[in-house]
Amino acid sequence: MKSNRIFSLVVFGLIVVITPVIFALKSQVNEKKNSNSFSVKSNARINLEDWTSFETVENKLTVLKNTSLNFPIRKLNQKIARISIGMHTGYFTDALELFADVDRFYFASLDEAIQKFPKELSQYDIIITAFHESSESPFSETTTNTKLRDFIAELPANKQLIGVIFGNPKQLMNDPSIEKMNTIIVGYENTLFAQDRVAQLIFGAIPANGKLPFSINEKYPINSGISISANGRLKFSQPEEFGISAAKFNRIDSIVNSAISKGAFPGCQIVVAYKGSIIYRKAFGRHTFDGLELVKNTDVYDIASVSKIAGSTVGIMKLESEGKFSLDKKLGDYLPELTQNTSFHSVLIKEMMAHQAGLTAWIPFYKRTLQNGELNPKYYSTVKKPGFETQVAQNLYIKDSYADSIYQQILASTLGPKKYEYSDLGYYFIKKIVEKQSAQNFHDFLMNELYIPMGLRSMRYQPLNHFAKNKIIPTENDQAFRKQLVHGFVHDPGAAMLGGVGGHAGVFSNATDLASLMQLFLNKGTYGNEQYLSSAVVSSYTKQQFQGNRRGAGFDRPKASGGGTCHELASQESYGHSGFTGTLVWADPKHQINYVFLSNRVCPSQDNWKIRDLNIRTEIQRVIYEALNENK
Query: With a threshold of 0.95, does the pTM exceed it?
Result: no
| pLDDT mean over 162-185 | 95
Q: How confident is the model at residue 143 (pLDDT cuts 50, 70, 90)?
A: low
Confidence class for position 130, pLDDT limits 50, 70, 90? very high
CB 232 within 8 A of CB 527: yes
Helix (H) or strand (E) holding 195, with range, is helix 192-202
Torsion of CA 515, 578, 325, 539, to 10 degrees: -60
The stretch 557-571 carries a mean pLDDT of 96
pLDDT score of 631: 63
Band of the pLDDT at 134, cuts 50, 70, 90? confident
Closest by CA to 356, choosing from 412, 430, 417, 428, is 417
pLDDT digits (tens, 9 = 90+) for 282-337: 999 999 999 999 999 999 999 999 999 999 999 999 999 999 999 999 999 999 99
The whole-chain average pLDDT of the chain stands at 91
DSSP per-residue codes, 457-487: TT-BSSGGGTS-GGGB----EETTTT-EE--
**What's the rounded mean pLDDT across residues 107-117?**
93
Among candidate residues 432, 421, 415, the one with its CA nearest the CA of residue 504: 432
Provide the pLDDT for residue 47: 54
Whether 561 contacts 550, CB under 8 Å: no
Highest mean pLDDT among 21-35, 86-100, 400-414: 400-414
CA distances, 133 to each of 35, 198, 211 (Å): 16, 15, 20
**pLDDT at residue 2, as a whole number:** 44
Q: What is the mean pLDDT of residues 27-36?
A: 40
Q: Give percent of the chain above pLDDT 70.
A: 91
Tell me how far apart the alpha carbons of residues 138 and 240 are, in angstroms, rounded to a whole number.
33
> Long-range contacts for 557-566 (Cβ within 8 Å, ≥24 apart)?
563/618, 566/618, 566/621
| Domain layout of the chain by residue ranges | 33-231, 251-629
At 258, the amino acid letter reads S
Which residue would you say has higher pLDDT here, 542 or 41? 542
Residue type, 566: C
Q: What is the pLDDT of residue 146?
A: 82
Distance in angstroms (rounded) separating the CA atoms of residues 73 and 79 = 11
Least reliable range by pLDDT among 12-16, 57-61, 89-93, 289-293: 12-16
Spatial CA neighbour of 274 closest among 245, 236, 306: 236
Residue 382 has pLDDT above 70, yes or no: yes
| For residue 76, pLDDT beyond 50 | yes
Indicate whether 44 pLDDT > 50: no
Position 609, amino acid? W
Level-2 CATH architecture, domain 251-629:
3-Layer(aba) Sandwich (3.40)
Q: What is residue 24's predicted lDDT score, i.e. its pLDDT?
A: 35
Q: Assess whether the previous peptide bond of 72 is cis (omega < 30° from 0).
A: yes
Distance CA 333, CA 349 (A): 10
> If DSSP codes are grouped into helix, strand and coil, which group holds residue 547?
coil
CATH topology of domain 33-231: Rossmann fold (3.40.50)
